[in-house]
Amino acid sequence: MRKRLFGICAALLLLVGISACGGNANNKDASASNDYADDSAMQVIASGLEARWRLGDQLGASGKEETATDYKKLIDAELKKDKPLRNRKFKNSDMQKDVIDYIKLLEESRTVVEKYPMNGGDFWTKWYETYDKRTAVIKKFVDKYDLKVSDKYADTLKELVDNGKAAQAQNDEKDAVNALVSSLQWSTTDDGYGSYTLTATGQNTTKYNIKDLSIVLSLYDQSGVKQEETYTSIDSWKAGETVKLEAYPSAAPARVEASVDYFDTSNE
């Protein structure tokens, strides 16, 4: 009887042990499946930036002018660290989007180097467009996710963040002015003898004092075919001010689409 009870107890202990082991295995599987990148993503981004900057220091020490090959090496040094984040899981979907956007901008900057000769104006236009976008994301990394680098490169990071701040301010201006111009409602007056006047009255609802504003008016007929493009402009349009804009097309359009050609802003 005692042997039988001992056997039953041993069997129960064995079952408990198997269950516990199974539970541990399941916990490990669950842990592996929940391997989120949120806590380490900014460390990875920082390591990528510092890898790029270290290589930049080495290239700068040579005293030679940097070539397209050097630019690609600098970008690749950062991409090598960052690209694995593209396939990682994140709890914070906003962080995931920002990280992926940043990787795409690195790839976009590499495409600029591959596509445009460095001795041409197109290269520098495209390069700085991408640079401004990239630094704006870096500023977001610092502000939202507490991106930090080593003390050695703290000033370098600050330069990027400052540029990102300025670039974001410019983007905010562009978005506000584009939205304002797109919202204008245009009416057509038949002046007789084949002459027409397009008129729009609008209030500057942005916070910016706009100056030297040039607007492109794309004019379409009833079939949706573009008839022509014409222009209108205004020297000054202060925040809160209401102005009247006019243009003189050669035919009466069925639809008008307005877009910004050029503008500046003033503190006055």
Q: What is the pLDDT of residues 64-118, one digit of tens each?
A: 999 999 999 999 999 999 999 999 999 999 999 999 999 999 999 999 999 999 9
Query: pLDDT digits over 146-199, tens only?
Result: 999 999 999 999 999 999 999 999 999 999 999 999 999 999 999 999 899 999
Query: pLDDT digits over 184-195, tens only?
Result: 999 999 999 989
Does the pLDDT value for residue 12 go beyond 50?
Answer: no
- What is the pTM for the complete model shown? 0.72
Does the pLDDT value for residue 21 go beyond 70?
Answer: no
Output 48-53 pairs: Cβ under 8 A, ≥24 positions apart. Answer: 48/77, 48/78, 48/79, 48/80, 48/81, 48/82, 49/78, 49/138, 49/149, 49/153, 49/157, 50/149, 50/150, 50/153, 51/77, 51/78, 51/80, 51/81, 52/77, 52/78, 53/153, 53/156
